[in-house]
Amino acid sequence: MSDSDTATAVVRSEISRRDFLNDVAAGALGIAGLGAMVVTYRYLSPNALFEPLTTFRAGNPGLYPVNSVTFNQDQQVYIVRTQEGFYAVSAVCTHLGCITQWKPDANMIACPCHGSKFKSDGTKVEGPAPRSLPHFSITLTADGELLVDKMETIKAEQALKA
Partner 1 sequence: MATSSIELALNRLRETRAWRSVFRRGPARTNRTRSLAIFGNIFLHLMPVKVREQSLRVRATYYLGSFSFLLFLMLTVTGILLMLYYHPAVPQAYLDMKDLRFVVSNGVFLRNLHRVGAHAMVIAVFWHMFHVFYRGGYRPPHEFNWVVGVVLMLLTLFLSYTGYLLPWDQLAFWAITVGTNIISAEPVLGRDVRFLLLGGNLVGENALLRFYVLHCVILPLVAGMFIAIHFWRIQKDGGLTLRENQE
Residue numbers at the binding site for partner 1 (CB under 8 A): 41, 44-46, 49-51, 96-98, 113
Residue 105 vs residues 7, 93, 102: alpha-carbon distances, Å: 96, 20, 9
Nearer to partner 1, 64 or 118 (CB): 118
In the complex, least distance from residue 112 CB atom to partner 1, rounded to whole angstroms: 11
Nearer to partner 1, 49 or 142 (CB): 49
Please report the DSSP string for 65-84 in residue order.
-TTEEEEETTTTEEEEE-SS
Please tell me the distance from the alpha carbon of residue 144 to that of residue 140, in angstroms, as a whole number.
Answer: 6
- In DSSP terms, 55 is beta-bridged to 149
Nearer to partner 1, 27 or 112 (CB): 112
In the complex, least distance from residue 138 CB atom to partner 1, rounded to whole angstroms: 21
In the complex, least distance from residue 78 CB atom to partner 1, rounded to whole angstroms: 19
Nearer to partner 1, 1 or 44 (CB): 44
Alpha helix segments (H runs only) across the chain: 3-8, 17-44
Please tell me the distance from the alpha carbon of residue 33 to that of residue 30, in angstroms, as a whole number.
Answer: 5
Residue 78 vs residues 7, 23, 112: alpha-carbon distances, Å: 84, 61, 16
In the complex, least distance from residue 108 CB atom to partner 1, rounded to whole angstroms: 22
